[in-house]
Amino acid sequence: RIFEKFTQVDSSATRKYGGTGLGLAIASGLVQLMGGQIRVQSTVGVGSTFTFTARLGVSSEVDDEPTLPAEIKGRRVLVVDDNDTNRQILCEMLGRWGLKAVAAASAEEAWRIVEAEQTRPFDFVLSDVHMPGIDGVTFLQRLKDAGRLEGVAVLMLSSSDGADVRSAGHRLGVGRFLVKPIKQSELFDALVAAMSAREEDASSRSTSVVMSNERPTGAGQPGTPLNGLRVLVAEDSLPNQKLIVGALERWSVQTTLVTTGAAAVEAVRTHPDAFDAVLMDVQMPEMDGLEATRRIRQFERESQAARPIPIIAMTAHARDSDRQACFDAGMDEYLSKPIHLKQLRTALERHAARQAGAGSLADAAPRDAASSGSADEHSARLFAREAAVRRLNGDLRWLREVSEAFLHEYPPTVRRARDAIAAGDFEEFGRQVHRLLGALRGLADAPLCERFERVEGTLRQGDAEHARRQFDESVPLLQQLAAEIRAWLDENRA
């Protein structure tokens, strides 16, 4: 009877609980649509248990499983938790992602494992805080005192989010804190973020040593390619905000954070010359990153901006169609989540170096001849030499011939493309762009090829003026590529 519409156990005018009596009727109807039945078992003063059955088909669409970066797969993880169920769940999740989990039911057992496997150190430690005997904080302190946390990414697990635990954890170098019950997505993001932070720490230490050798004055960080770069970050996820903004600040990047696509558009419209690059999340509330990018590009066309601002997509979707959607919207580059800091830095360095070479990185820290030398050239390398050598089965003579053919062919192709633009013949323009692409794909890095792919895509959409501007922006990079090829040829004459 309670599954009938407008029916309640207590139908009197003075009943204690409100409502219309439709909730269970709707639930019953939904279950019937799925070919099942709904049942209830109830005891007055104790409670009610509702169960239902359903007949469901098997979906033909398979969702993509989250994929850890290749450099994280196969890493060893020490899981320390006194709760059997928690340990089992954690180990199963880690195993599905290709990690090798070793479980311990107490800090004492974990210590014995660490002692026994000194020749095979762990890459991660996931430790519960509250355990009988030795707690998680004491265990980690013991590891640190013994020098066993060097280069280890540490995550702490707790049923509460106490400030005292966080404070103690930070002193021990804990990278992430997770509150139980732990969601699979939270653990996934934390693992990637912790590993990226660990690698970035190692990279920073390495870089500081190199810079101190090259610059006895100690002016290391201000000489890096990203110093003074101004980046607008559009990201609504707090963990991602902390990861990205934290990394940018460590790289001496001036960061402005917004949490919606609409806010990103407004920031660019209000201060069109204030940013050197945009990191744009694709999935955001109010207005997603694709629409925000389209509006920014429209604003640039309407305001006749001297140079479109580089927009780098950040998204958890890694299908080819998602990638193409980003490029079609007008984005310049694509980073799949979880964001890896090395890839993020490389992307920013590439755009910073290219814009600086074109003279449009407004008010960036000035570079003298030394600071604009080999380090910047390496970070902005366009000639994919190693990939080309592999593609040609290691035949350097063949690569020289292909390279020389490109140097001979690309200048007249560019001229023909520009002549077609001047004549309003955008069909011919498209043919010349396609010709360039065919030559580039054997020699250039992927982002440079993608620039000309976007020119093609913009032409297909009928926006000839935008395609012309994209082309004009990309041609100087062809000149840079040619210079790199000539330098390589000079070094490798037969």
User: Taking a C-beta distance cutoff of 8 angstroms, is the pair 153, 197 a contact?
Assistant: yes
> Which residue from 103, 65, 73 is spatially nearest to 87, judged by alpha carbons?
103
pLDDT for the residue 265:
94
- Output the CATH code of domain 385-492: 1.20.120
Residue 10 has a pLDDT of 54
Q: Do domains 230-354 and 385-492 have the same CATH topology?
A: no
**Span 87-97, pLDDT tens digits:** 999 999 899 88
| Per-residue model confidence (pLDDT) at position 107 | 93
In this predicted structure, what is the pLDDT of residue 203? 44
Q: Write down the pLDDT at residue 196.
A: 62
Q: What is the pLDDT of residues 144-195, one digit of tens each?
A: 888 888 878 888 887 765 556 666 777 777 767 777 777 777 788 778 767 6
C-alpha span between 482 and 444 (Å, rounded): 10
* Low-confidence spans in the chain with pLDDT less than 50: 12-18, 203-224, 358-380
Phi first, then psi, for residue 313 (nearest 5°) are: -75, 145
Question: What pLDDT shows up at residue 65?
Answer: 54
What pLDDT is stored for residue 38 in this prediction? 92
Right CATH for 230-354 from 3.30.70.2390, 3.40.50.2300, 3.40.50.300, 1.20.1630.10? 3.40.50.2300
pLDDT at residue 102, rounded to an integer = 94
Residues 6+ apart with CB under 8 A from 231: 248, 253, 254, 255, 256, 275, 276, 277, 278, 279, 348
Cβ contact 140:127 at 8 Å: yes
- What confidence score (pLDDT) does residue 284 get? 79
Its pTM stands at 0.37
Q: Encoding tokens for residue 182?
A: 């732990």
Tokens 């020490």 -> residue: 78
Closest CA to 377 of 342, 410, 349: 349
pLDDT of residue 392: 54
Q: What is the pLDDT of residue 292?
A: 94
Q: Interior CA angle at 246 toward 128 and 342, to 5°?
A: 90
CATH architecture for the domain at 72-197: 3-Layer(aba) Sandwich (3.40)
Residue 79 neighbours by CB under 8 Å, 6+ apart:
87, 90, 91, 94, 101, 102, 103, 104, 126
**Predicted pLDDT of residue 318:** 54
Check if the beta carbon of residue 458 is closer than 8 Å to that of residue 331.
no
CA distance 420 to 414: 10
Q: How big is the chain, counted in residues?
A: 494
Give residue 439's Cα distance to chain centre: 30
Q: Where are the domains of the chain?
A: 22-53, 72-197, 230-354, 385-492
